[in-house]
Amino acid sequence: MAERITFFEFKDALDQRTMSVNKVGEYVHIDPASPIPKLIFRGDALRDKPAPDYDVDREVYNFTREKRSAARASAAPSSGGIKSIVAEGDSWFNLPEFLMPDAIADCILDNGNFDIDNIAYWGYTLAEILEEREHITVMRDNTPDIFMLSAGGNDLQEGLAEKGYIHQYDSGRDPDDYLTDEGIAGYAQIATGYAEILTEVTGEFPTVNVFCHGYDYPRPLLYDGTYIGQYMRELTERPFPCYFPRNELSNSNLV
């Protein structure tokens, strides 16, 4: 357990960059009530209450991104001639390193075979990526060889959390008919958002290679239903059947 400090002490250490990344992880954790990855203060971390307008999730993201950028800059002189990547997206590409395993883009960075500018934000929705379009600004500054995109999962998760995407379980309902009109519209919006991003990227940077992260079959029971399973469970009165051996669930990295 970390030594309890005041909110000002935490904020000052983060602002001045005198706190290590691992130390930050002793004061924050993933909000269990949030449908998307979001950092909040641990209940026993501070001696007092944080300022009501302080966004610790954003501040920690900025801090970790700055650390990553500094590490990338220091490695740049020895990385000449390798392919460059801009990675835009969500938690598949960027996770708080002190709480979770490395995300895909972080693994690529650690691999050392690519120069990767990872601007992904673990809690970002596709709608937010579209609104900010930071990837376009970054790519205009230095056109990469590769553009990577992972998005839509948080949009889907929020839609499920609001209980508007899936019908209540009914033994007479065909599996293909469980999406509500709102759910169908949500999926269509994600598809439209992808098309918009990729059309803009390939139109302005026609030589850039594009890779998108995709999902395999959904596994609602993974990690005891922490992800989509918790919302699906609320829509049925019967317990979920378990299709996968327990050891396979615990060892899987699919969510």
Residue-level pLDDT at 237: 59
- Summarize pLDDT for 161-191 with one digit per residue, the tens: 998 899 998 889 998 899 999 999 999 999 9
pLDDT bracket for residue 127 (50, 70, 90): very high
For residue 50, what are its two tokens? 């944080």
3-state secondary structure (DSSP) of residue 28: strand
Encode burial over 183-221: b for 16+ CB neighbours within 10 A, e otherwise: beebbebbeebbeebeeebeeebeebeeeebeeeeebeb
